[in-house]
Amino acid sequence: MSKKITISLVATALLSIVLAVLTVTGRFAALDHSLEYALYALRTPGLTTLLKIITTIGEWYVYAVVTLLLLALPRTRWKYGLPAGVALGISAVLNTLLKLCFAIPRPTGHRLITETGFGFPSGHAMIGTAFVGICVLLFVRYADKRAAKLIASVAAVLFMLAVGLSRVYLGVHNPTDIIAGYAMGLFCAVGVRGIVDLLHKRNLLSSTDSRPNLTLLRSRKAS
C-alpha cells in the first residue's frame, strides 16, 4: 500500500474518531443548531422540491443499481463494478453498526420528510462518499486526460455536498452527522482503493483491464 494511501487512511480514521468524540460529548451541539436554523431560514417550496430529489438520488439503492450496471458491463466490471460493490457493502454495514453503537437520535421538530433510525453518522453521507469516492479515485487512476479527472472530482464533491446539505435542510440530520459521514465514507473509499493498488502491485490484477490475473493466481495456488 502506497504511502499516500496509508496517510489518507490514518487521517480519515483520526478525523472520524475526533468527530465522534466531540459529537458524543456534545461539544458541537451549539454549532449544529446554529447551522440548522440558518438552513431552515432558506426554505422555499422550490428549493424543498429540489433537495428532496437530490436526497432521493443519494439513497443507497440508487448506488446499488449503478453498481449492478457496472458489474453487467464487461468493460467496467473489474475496473469499477467490483470495487464499487465492495465499498458500498462495507460502508453500508459499517454505517449500520456505528449508528447502533452511538445511538444518537436525529433532530426533531423541523422535519420535511420522514426518517427512522439513529442519525450519527449519516448514511447518505457515508455510503454516498464511499461509493462516489471509490468511483472517482479509480477514474483518476485509470483516466488519461487531466481535464476529465478534474471534472469528475469537482462533480463528485459538489454532488456529495448537495446530498449532505439536503439532509440538514430537510431536518433529518445534524451537520456533524454529515461531516462524520463524509470522513468515514472517505475512509472506506481510500481503503478499497488501497486494496486495488495492492492487487495491482502484486500482479493479481491485469494492468490493462483490471481483470484478475488468472495465470498468476493458478501458479501461486499450485505452488
Question: Of the candidates 163, 172, 175, which has an alpha carbon nearest to the alpha carbon of residue 131?
Answer: 163
Percent of the chain with pLDDT over 70: 91
Residue count (the chain): 223
pTM: 0.90
- Identify the pLDDT of residue 76: 92
Q: Mean pLDDT across the stretch 4-22? A: 93
Q: With b meaning 16 or more CB within 10 Å and e meaning fewer, what string describes 122-152?
A: bbbbbbbbbbbbbbbbbbbeeeeeeeebeeb
Q: Which range has the worst mean pLDDT, 44-48, 65-69, 89-93, 210-214?
A: 210-214
- Identify the pLDDT of residue 210: 66
